[in-house]
Chain A
Amino acid sequence: MSLHQETVLLSGHIIDSLLLAKVLDTILMMGGTFDLEDVRIGKTREEPSRARIAIQAGSKTLLDDILKAIQPHGAAIEREADCRFESAPADGIFPDDFYATTHLPTQIRIHGRWVDVDRIEMDLGILVDEQASVVRAVPMGTVRRGERIVIGRDGVRIIPLQRPRERDVFGFMDSQVSAERPHGHVIADIAARMHQLRERHRQGQAQSNVLLAGGPAIIHAGGREALAWLIEEGFVHLLFCGNALAAHDMEADLYGTSLGYGLTAGRAVPHGHEHHLRTINRIRAIGSIEQAVASGVVKQGIMAACVRQRVPVVMAGTIRDDGPLPGVITDSVRAQDAMRAVIPGVGLALLVASTLHSIATGNLLPATVPTVCVDVNPSVPTKLADRGSFQAVGLVMDAASFLSELARLLGRPV
């Protein structure tokens, strides 16, 4: 992380004297940014006011210059302590007072130095192994007895998100959800990002992967071809889904139905309800989805595109799954780990038509990853935001329309 931060306190009669305004203007004019963490305004003229200002700058030199410029105006660098650790008392158990992470960029102070926390994710602990120079967010279940875990709040700071350079829909980083909002410009911004990310991905740059987490409604609604095209054309680099999306995608290829409904005719076909079971059974017999595609049994669709383009797929099972398909991870903690393992390379996340997978993926994503949540049901993006993924842009529309429009903007022939 190239962001340098220091927190200062300003107190006294700082409002009417315009001292606070002067200090904030100075920070901005010098090229820094700030976050007003706490402002207490005196209730009477005599009572002093107080402001706590977190200052961010792109370099240590700039930060030092800013601090030097504002200190004569009374801005005092907040005295900060090193963070405290305690050993995990047993495997899978954090110390009592463990620090629970947010998904915002986080730093901890060790021996007076601020160190970035790697692999940040909400609701984890922070493991510190000084010998191995490891400072990483870790899930409760994976901690081993004796590992040192950060406790309390001293010496831990979270860094607010900076506005991205791109002046697009992600610049607002809010999750206002409304079916009435026009979708066109949002999808156009997503397409523009995906175009850039494909270039960066081809050049092997970091955090250039586009992740799509989706539900089976993509197939039912008619978004299968558009998504398969996006994968074939190299716009999507990771897929998170469950048993159902994969099963219905391959059912469509083998039987032309999705959950028994003819995708072209639009009505239930005789014994159609058996199709997804027969599909799952067939793939189980072949042994793997990769083999089914390689042997030519499954020719078209999302899964076939993923196999051909070597797009990693993490399939997480649920309690109501049929089969499941080979490759579906039925242990949800293992599934989380498999998803977590590929998150660090993600530069854009599209969460489409799935409450379960959208929220699960949202929980794993750092706040720095631009995220879009698309669902016909407004409660899904709302729920995602309520669970902390405030950076997600909510789009209330059906999956097929979204994917088709996205693919069209990226050059898919209509």
Chain B
Amino acid sequence: MSRLLICPPDFFGIEYEINPWMRLSNRVDHEQAVKQWHGLMRVFEHDVGVTLERMTPVAGLPDLVFTANAGIVVDRTAVVSRFRYPERQREEAHFEGWFRDHGYEVVTLDKELYFEGAGDLLGFPDCWFGGYRQRSDIRAFPFLSERFHREIIPLELVDARFYHLDTCFCPLSGGDLLYFPPAFDCYGQIAIAERVPPERRLSVPEDEALKFACNAVCVGKHVVLPSGCPTTERMLRAKGYSTHPVPLDEFMKSGGSAKCLTLALD
């Protein structure tokens, strides 16, 4: 992975409440948010060495900044998200336009087959995991599995605070997994254990999970994650990863962090 799609936070703010983190009364300090976002991008460009592809922000679409939900990209094919909430459905056309303009073959899903992109579909090279119930519809996965010839293990998200898979589940480049087990029911936990051996499962403590420690971006041996997660960082370093904590609390007001602010393009 060397290219990430990002969208500057020019119009970022809390204008509606569609997850337990969002409260209209909890105003975003816009200047601070912009500062944090640029800090994150600096880390990506200078410390991690990725190329950033910038989308043009759109007034009235405060969450366009969370490009993880644009869709998923596999080689030159992009599957555009179908958002569950009308508030974010207006983003779909912009993401689709960006993919088309950049030469991707665009795949769209049936209407009402909700699928929120890389927010809910993550994985290792041979096995993907799909989060469902909170946002994405489980019925999207058989379609995607067939389209891309990949196994997709559906995982029910049972805690509304972890409403996307990428808020509690982060596959790492070395085959390790950073995750918060209580965000899944026992079936999901067993299914994960079947695919990822115990020594590769890094279980994040609850206080750090609530700081979105799992909403991390892994590029090679670099892991970029929200600051304030020392236990998670220790576990990662013990596995040979370099950690890059970045303060992103303005975005946490909206229920997003490092991973939500990026979409892996390749």
Contacts and interface: CB of A to CB of B under 8 A. Distances in A.
B187 A46 contact: no
Interface of A: 11-13, 16-19, 21-22, 45-46, 48, 72-74, 76
Contacts of A18: 187-188, 190-191
B139 A13 contact: no
B191 A16 contact: yes
A13 B154 contact: yes
Contact of A73 (B138, B145, B190, B194): B138
B187 A22 contact: yes
A21 B146 CA distance: 22
Contacts of B258: none
B145 A12 contact: yes
Give the secondary structure class of B's interface. Answer: mixed
Interface in B227-255: none
B138 A74 contact: yes
A11 to B, nearest CB: 6
Interface residues of B, number: 25
A16 B146 CA distance: 17
Nearest to A74: B138
B112 to A, nearest CB: 13
B197 to A, nearest CB: 15
B133 interface: yes
A16 B192 CA distance: 9
A19 B151 CA distance: 14
B200 interface: no
B183 to A, nearest CB: 15
Interface of B: 126-127, 132-133, 138-139, 141-142, 145-146, 149-156, 185, 187-188, 190-191, 194-195
B151 A45 contact: yes
Nearest to A11: B142
Contacts of A72: 132-133, 138
B152 A12 contact: yes
A45 B127 contact: yes
Given A48-B142, A48-B145, A74-B139, A17 B133 contact: no
Contacts of A21: 187
Contact of A13 (B141, B185, B190): B141
Contacts of A13: 141-142, 145, 151-154
26 contacts: A11-B142, A13-B142, A13-B151, A13-B153, A16-B153, A16-B191, A16-B194, A16-B195, A17-B153, A17-B188, A17-B191, A18-B188, A18-B190, A19-B138, A19-B154, A22-B156, A45-B127, A45-B151, A46-B149, A46-B151, A48-B142, A48-B145, A48-B146, A72-B132, A73-B138, A74-B139
Nearest to A72: B133
Contacts of B127: 45
Contacts of B194: 16
Contacts of A45: 126-127, 151
B52 to A, nearest CB: 33
Contacts of A19: 138, 154, 187
A44 to B, nearest CB: 9
Nearest to B187: A18
B192 to A, nearest CB: 10
Contacts of A46: 145, 149-151
Given A12-B145, A13-B142, A74-B142, 15 more contacts: A11-B142, A12-B138, A12-B152, A13-B151, A13-B152, A13-B153, A16-B151, A16-B194, A17-B155, A17-B191, A18-B188, A19-B138, A22-B187, A46-B145, A46-B149
